[in-house]
């Protein structure tokens, strides 16, 4: 772990190091809202296989494209609509599809499959490089463990790139992410709770802090403890299932440390990302909800059967195409499309969980982490059946430190490069950037 900066408060013990959220009584840095650099966190959450045509459009809009009601498939996000910018007509003119689209979603480059080259570093790694001295972790790259025949495909599994030909390493096991955030590897692994390891120092710090900051320290430590307990329970359950040859909800035997319940798995990763943002352990993160051509089963959802990739080809209901598993078939096209949309809706529920968590967490001045964040959520494919690159399902959440007008449906008149969004977010993070991908013009947010 990097040496601490003077603007951060740390709790240390042999084998453990916790970065604390900003505390007003202990000299939290001042933040000026509404100017470049006031957005202090940036995250990209990627999902594969696109979404069915029509499921991304709001049900009701008001004056100036204000979001008044989301559609049934986006309903889990209804409580957050004031914090959203739902987009239309964004596309990736240089890269599209399960492989090239995934690999270049954050680079604005192209990928022809003949050589390992995505055109340049990804937007998150440009941010990480700029702020590398400001946080213990320059960036945090997360992913679920892939399922299906393309789980080992390089372009389908690489969203973040440190250089045009160097993918960043992803973490897929929650315990490994937790240890990356809180363990001090050079001192050796100590098989105790990280909170037990820093207990004495935390008590001393609370004596010096204000009452309000004391409560914030308690809240933070309680959050860390809760994650520890969830990790311990998940590991016991997954090892037990593996031992008795039990199958997970996705019809596969779990790896040790990965929860057997897929929702619990995803939410553990999101909770860890939220904690990393709140504490200041990092300012930028990516999360692949699955690899770019996921064949994960979502049979744990009522009425849903078959793999995600097969469902995305919703116009083929026979169960006999190359995308199918050989034994699942659907009643008709409408039924299959509805099941595809249910998978989309389930992922919106996970995003809603994450946004709620960020809204609960407060900086030293009482402003929520969500208000000072920019969370991009979307896919590199539009309608999954057509593999189209135009009108990608993309939304943005968070206030960007007062620089983003949220609660609206953003509809450019013509197809607009996703690179314009990346460029605008780079500038809001305070990264001096004249050009990204093929554009010098940012998206008007």
Domain coordinates of the chain in residue numbers? 10-428
Task: Return the bridge partners of 254, or none.
Answer: none
Higher pLDDT: 195 or 251? It is 195
Q: Which fold has domain 10-428?
A: Alkaline Phosphatase, subunit A (3.40.720)
pLDDT digit string (tens) for 375-427? 999 999 999 998 888 999 999 999 999 999 999 999 999 999 999 999 999 99
Question: Quick check: 246 pLDDT over 60?
Answer: no
DSSP-based three-state secondary structure for 109: coil
Span 22-32, mean pLDDT?
70
How does residue 182 score in pLDDT terms, banded at 50, 70 and 90? confident
pLDDT band at 41 (very low <50, low <70, confident <90, very high): very high
Indicate the pairing of strand 16-19 with strand 90-91.
unpaired
Round to whole Å and give the CA distance between 222 and 437: 42
pTM: 0.92
What is the tens place of the pLDDT at every residue in 62-99? 999 999 999 999 999 999 999 999 999 999 988 888 99
Contacts of 222 (CB under 8 A, 6+ apart): none
Q: Which of the two residues, 28 and 101, has the higher pLDDT score?
A: 101
Q: Is pLDDT of 253 > 70?
A: no
Q: Does pLDDT of 134 surpass 90?
A: no
At 255 the pLDDT is 63
Contacts of 194 (CB under 8 A, 6+ apart): 13, 15, 16, 18, 182, 183, 224, 228
Contact by Cβ (8 Å): 335, 65: no
Give 231's pLDDT tier (boundaries 50, 70, 90): confident
Angstrom CA distances, 75 to 43, 49, 68, 371, stand at 22, 20, 12, 21
- Dihedral pair phi/psi, residue 422, rounded to 5°: -60, -45
Q: Helices (DSSP H) in 244-286: which residue ranges? A: 262-279
Report the pLDDT value the prediction gives residue 2, as an integer from 0 to 100.
41
pLDDT at 6: 42
Residue 131 has pLDDT above 50, yes or no: yes
Over residues 190-206, the pLDDT tens digits come to 667 888 888 888 888 88
Q: What is the 3-state secondary structure (H, E, C) of 2-58?
A: CCCCCCCCEEEECCEEEECCCCHHHCCCCCCCCCCCCCCEEEEEECCCCCCCCCCCC
* pLDDT digits 0-9 by tens, 201-222: 888 888 888 888 889 889 998 9
Q: How many CA atoms lie within 13 A of 25 on its CB side?
A: 13
Residue with the larger pLDDT of the pair 184 and 279: 279
For residue range 296-354, what is the model confidence (pLDDT) as tens digits?
999 999 999 999 999 999 999 999 888 888 889 999 999 999 999 999 999 999 999 99
Q: What percent of the chain has pLDDT over 90?
A: 63
Query: What is the residue-averaged pLDDT of the chain?
Result: 89
The token pair at 236 is: 């016991």
């Amino acid at each position: 772990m990097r040496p601490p900066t003077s603007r951060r408060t740390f709790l240390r013990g042999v084998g453990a190091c916790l970065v604390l959220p900003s505390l007003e009584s202990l000299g939290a840095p001042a933040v000026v809202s509404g100017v470049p650099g006031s957005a202090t966190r940036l995250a990209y959450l990627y999902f594969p296989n696109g979404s069915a045509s029509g499921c991304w459009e709001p049900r009701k809009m008001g004056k100036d494209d204000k979001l008044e009601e989301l559609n049934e498939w986006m309903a889990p996000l209804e409580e957050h609509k004031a914090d959203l910018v739902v987009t239309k007509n964004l596309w990736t003119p240089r890269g599209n599809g399960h492989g090239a689209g995934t690999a270049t979603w954050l680079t604005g480059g192209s990928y022809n499959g003949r050589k390992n080259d995505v055109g340049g570093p990804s937007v998150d790694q440009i941010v990480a490089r700029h702020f590398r001295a400001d946080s213990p972790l320059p960036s945090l790259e997360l992913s679920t463990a892939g399922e299906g025949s393309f789980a080992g495909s390089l372009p389908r599994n690489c969203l973040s790139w440190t250089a045009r030909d160097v993918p960043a390493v992803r973490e897929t096991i929650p315990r490994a992410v937790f240890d990356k955030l809180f363990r001090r590897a050079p001192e050796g692994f100590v098989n105790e709770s990280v909170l037990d390891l820093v207990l004495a120092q935390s008590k001393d710090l609370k004596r010096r802090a204000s009452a309000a900051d004391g409560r914030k320290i308690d809240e933070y430590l309680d959050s860390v403890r809760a994650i520890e307990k969830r990790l311990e329970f998940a590991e016991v359950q997954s090892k037990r299932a593996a031992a008795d040859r039990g199958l997970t909800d996705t019809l596969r035997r779990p790896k040790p440390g990965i929860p057997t319940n897929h929702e619990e798995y995803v939410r553990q990763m999101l909770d860890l990302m939220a904690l990393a943002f709140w504490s200041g352990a990092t300012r930028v993160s990516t999360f692949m909800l699955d690899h770019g051509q996921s064949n994960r089963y979502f049979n744990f959802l009522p009425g849903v059967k078959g793999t995600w990739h097969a469902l995305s080809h919703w116009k083929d209901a026979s169960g006999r195409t190359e995308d199918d598993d050989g034994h699942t078939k659907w009643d008709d096209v409408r039924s299959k499309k509805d099941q595809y949309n249910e998978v989309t809706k389930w992922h919106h529920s996970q995003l809603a969980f994450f946004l709620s968590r960020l809204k609960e967490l407060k900086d030293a001045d009482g402003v929520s982490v969500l208000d000072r964040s920019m969370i991009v959520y979307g896919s590199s494919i539009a309608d999954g059946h057509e593999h189209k690159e135009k009108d990608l399902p993309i939304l943005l959440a968070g206030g960007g430190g007062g620089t983003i007008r949220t609660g609206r449906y953003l509809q450019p008149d013509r197809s607009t490069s996703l690179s314009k969004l990346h460029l605008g977010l780079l500038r809001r993070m305070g990264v001096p950037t004249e050009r990204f991908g093929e554009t010098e013009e940012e998206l008007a947010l």
